[in-house]
Amino acid sequence: MARPNVQQFAREVRAEVRKVTWPSRKETLVTTGMVFVMVIVCALFFLLIDQVFAFAIRLILGIGG
């Protein structure tokens, strides 16, 4: 196996980085906002499901209110 050439590797890395299409500031902010909204929606969904299961378990076991 040939020994890796560090200079050639660095040139190839720079060439690949030039090909990357970086998102604009607006795209980044919109995507970040969407992530936060989805996190809140998922948190509320799992809170609701947890409360339903907790109620059902209390009802089945006959404990609590």
23 and 31 Cβ atoms separated by less than 8 Å: yes
Confidence (pLDDT) at 62: 87
Residue 28 corresponds to which tokens in the numbers above?
Answer: 């980044």
Confidence (pLDDT) at 5: 87
pTM exceeds 0.75 for this model? no
58 and 64 Cβ atoms separated by less than 8 Å: yes
**Per-residue pLDDT tens over the stretch 32-55:** 999 999 999 999 999 999 999 999
Question: Is pLDDT of 65 > 60?
Answer: no
**Per-residue pLDDT tens over the stretch 1-22:** 667 788 999 999 999 999 999 9
